[in-house]
Amino acid sequence: MKNEKGLYIQLYNIHGLIRGENLELGRDSDTGGQTKYVLELAKNLSERNEIRKVEIMTRLIDDKDLSESYSVKYEKINEKLFITRIQCGGKKYIRKELLWDHLEEYADKTIKYIKSTGEIPDLIHSHYADAGYVCTQLTRFLGIPLIHTGHSLGRLKRQNLLGSGLTEDEIDKRYKISRRIEAEESVMFFSDRIITSTNQEIESQYGMYQNMIEEKFRVIPPGIELDKFFPYNQQREWDDHHQVIRYKIRDELLNFFNNIHKPLILSLCRPEKRKNISGLIEAFGRSEELQQKANLAIYAGIRKDIQEMPELEREVLTEMLLLMDKYNLYGKMAIPKKHDFEHEVPELYRTAAETGGVFVNSAFAENFGLTLIESASSGLPIVSTDDGGPRDIINNLQNGILVDVKNPENIADAVNKILDNKRTWKEFSENGIHRVGKFYSWKAHVDNYLETINELLEETTIKPKTFIDTGKQLFGFQKLIMLDIDDTITGDTDALTELKEIILTMDERIGFGVATGRHIESACDILQQNNFAKPHIIVSSVGSEIYYRNRNDYDYSTSWEAHIKNSWKPERIMELLDDFEFLELQTPENQRKFKVSYNLHTDEKDLQRARDILIKNKIKTNLIVSHGAYVDFLPFRASKGRAIRYLSYRWNIPHKNILVGGDSGNDEDMLTGELLGVVVANHTEDLEKLRGRRRIYFSEQSHANGVTDGIKYYNFLRGDLQ
């Protein structure tokens, strides 16, 4: 349902550098058109009456090599628009391909942030696969409607890279393409709408995916700021600021060109292989005719020292310089080191148009091509790749020529055709100026965007596959009860029935879960056999797995897996312990992905030998002994207590609001600390050492009666509920 108070929308743009003003577009391959689009979309949405709040969610970066503005946690842009930065993967700036291992952390902190505000957004919109991964978790847990924009797609990128000669292994190593494609498949499945810039994206790019559902797609071309990218021949008053910019551009180009009065062939793009900058230089370098009549200027991002740049960008820039030298293009070609996007780029387009020049997009494939409509609005004709968004743009604007850029001669021929015919140049220039407002204004874009949102929010049903029941309940939980199963819940039928009634009639702000050594299937079976209440959460396999209730089933927490999997080497553990006769490896059904289990046939003191050999071989593990007869080796971050503390963090439930109950040694680490511990009277001897500890209540009642007694002791069901 539509929010009558106005919509609250979150836009997720996790990678790259984004701030409210002076975007550093082109600083690297992650800070380009997507960043600009998200900021402009947010600004234009915030100007609409039906919008109450827009929030850009991105990554917090505190890096001495970057502006302090990226380390500001909350940035206010206007009364309705904010940027919220959430830290993950440390504070240093890293490229998007290195963020995959840290996205679970981002999701956890985002859930915690949303809960801390007490306000769930009406809609979330993810940009690119990394944000799609995070927003998939949010929509699954909280049922928030999800819109996604891919900006570019992994399957197409892999196809193009394979075509350029890279191997599958090289592509995966550089671009983490398999993880990206997996995330894209997932977000296509869980999203409610997918926005593209062109029909071609839907047909030839998203059509490569298994989870492509045509009904989800909406084509909404992005807009541009027409007041910024105004035509080169428009009458205007020149102020000192614009004059300074124009003189600066002219002086910079003078440093490169022998004759600055020739038409300017302009290209603006990031230094990426897929942008095919080398193809444009080859086209210019091989054509003596083109060199005689025009200059070439390529603005390929921002750089200080090529040697200090990331490998992939360094390769592209080095190739540009080598080609410049190969064709002896000195005095005819410019590769400026930087440009100010906010102020200089619009003047660059107009400068090129004033010379009678041409804009060239030589990318192998282009999802949309924002620079093409900026050129059009400025009155600069274009030559562009005949792949992707440019087809729609040229079809709508009739202001340029599409070519197969894989052959550099095609680029040269098209540029020559425009430069040689003044009538053609003028027709293309005027078409772009007059048509761009109709097809690519921000007003038209936001109108279509809001129409899509309203259509989505008016839908009354939420698909089961996109919503976990427990998610919104957890979001509302202020307290949590987590209990061991065997001999804590079970063991006394009458006591169990009484405890069940207490749990089923608890305030909806109190959640219930179990923490058990059993695996998930066994835990569900024993609870069902005892006709006990279905938990909202199951921490199973001694804390190595977490599951959330999803109607009559349970969904595995990939977030907890990502948290504990570091340095986990189960095969090596089994190999090192194979010679210890007092350790008998349990049956395969008792082994789990993050748990190696043994039967113990000796005194616990002998286990020190096992610990020593693992330490000697630098194996990090958490060893847990239960009932003096069973030994579990877990990742060093995993245990019942650590899993519960993780739940406390993720769902923002204070430790003092979590009651835990148990009876044996594998419950010890969840009973200690700041949680409210209850030890039932039938506990094993190894818990006696905890007696007298703060926040641990030893009940004189056994089994479930002991839990009920502990709940009353802490006044848990009534205290501190607002």
User: Measuring CA to CA, which residue among 126, 175, 174, 173 is closest to residue 154?
Assistant: 175
User: Measuring CA to CA, which residue among 490, 496, 480, 586 is closest to residue 541?
Assistant: 586
- The pLDDT of residue 3 is 63
3-state secondary structure at position 507: coil
* H or E element at residue 430: helix 422-440
* H or E element at residue 676: strand 676-679
Report strand pairing: 74-76 vs 81-86: antiparallel
Whole-Å CA distances, 203 to 155, 199, 209, 400: 13, 6, 11, 23
Show the tokens assigned to 118: 């007490």
* Topology agreement, domain 7-219 and domain 240-437: yes
Q: Which CATH class is domain 567-636?
A: alpha beta
**Rounded distance between C-alpha atoms, residue 16 and residue 583, angstroms:** 50
SS3 helix, strand, coil % of the chain, rounded to 5? 45, 20, 35
- The pLDDT of residue 644 is 96
Whole-Å CA distances, 503 to 499, 524, 552, 693, 701: 6, 17, 18, 27, 18
> Quick count: other Cβ atoms within 10 Å of Cβ 339?
20
3-state secondary structure at position 42: helix
User: Measuring CA to CA, which residue among 173, 187, 71, 168 is closest to residue 129?
Assistant: 187
Task: Collect all residues with Cβ–Cβ distance below 8 Å to 668 and sequence separation of at least 6.
Answer: 641, 662, 686, 687, 690
> Based on C-alpha coordinates, what's the Rg of the chain?
31
Find out whether 692 and 671 touch, Cβ atoms under 8 Å: no
Task: Collect all residues with Cβ–Cβ distance below 8 Å to 247 and sequence separation of at least 6.
Answer: none
Q: Considering the domain 240-437, what is its CATH architecture?
A: 3-Layer(aba) Sandwich (3.40)
Residue recorded with tokens 């839908």: 459
* H or E element at residue 472: helix 469-476
Residue by residue, DSSP assigns 590-646 as G-BTTBEEEEE-S-GGGHHHHHHHHHHTT---EEEEETTTEEEEE-TT-SHHHHHHH
Amino acid symbol at 150: G
CATH superfamily of 468-565+638-722: HAD superfamily/HAD-like (3.40.50.1000)
> Which residues of the chain register pLDDT less than 50?
460-465
Show the tokens assigned to 413: 């021929």
The 3-state secondary structure of 369-426, one letter per residue: CHHHHHHHHHCCCEEEECCEHHHHHHHHHCCEEEECCCCHHHHHHHHHHHHHCHHHHH
Q: What are the two backbone dihedrals, phi and then psi, of residue 630, each rounded to the nearest 5 degrees?
A: -130, 140
Tally of CA atoms within 13 A in the half-sphere of 201 that contains its CB: 23
- The pLDDT of residue 596 is 97
Taking only the tens place, the pLDDT of each residue in 575-592 is: 999 989 999 999 998 899
- 7-219 CATH pick, 3.40.50.2000, 2.40.10.10, 3.90.25.10, 3.20.190.10: 3.40.50.2000
Tally of CA atoms within 13 A in the half-sphere of 699 that contains its CB: 27
Show the tokens assigned to 180: 């990206």
- The pLDDT of residue 241 is 66
Find out whether 492 and 703 touch, Cβ atoms under 8 Å: yes
**Rounded distance between C-alpha atoms, residue 394 and residue 215, angstroms:** 26
Find out whether 248 and 342 touch, Cβ atoms under 8 Å: no
Strands, sheet with 295-300, edge to edge from the N-terminal-most edge strand: 333-334, 295-300, 264-269, 358-361, 382-385, 400-403
**Rounded distance between C-alpha atoms, residue 442 and residue 227, angstroms:** 11
461-468: long-range contacts (C-beta < 8 A, 24 or more apart)?
462/143, 464/551, 465/189, 465/190, 466/139, 466/140, 466/143, 466/146, 466/190, 466/192, 467/139, 467/140, 467/143, 468/140, 468/141, 468/143, 468/548, 468/549, 468/550, 468/555
- The pLDDT of residue 465 is 47
Residue recorded with tokens 């038209």: 444
**Rounded distance between C-alpha atoms, residue 712 and residue 438, angstroms:** 69
**Rounded distance between C-alpha atoms, residue 91 and residue 68, angstroms:** 12
- The pLDDT of residue 236 is 63
- The pLDDT of residue 342 is 63
**What residue ranges do the domains of the chain occupy?**
7-219, 240-437, 468-565+638-722, 567-636
User: Measuring CA to CA, which residue among 685, 585, 674 is closest to residue 626?
Assistant: 685
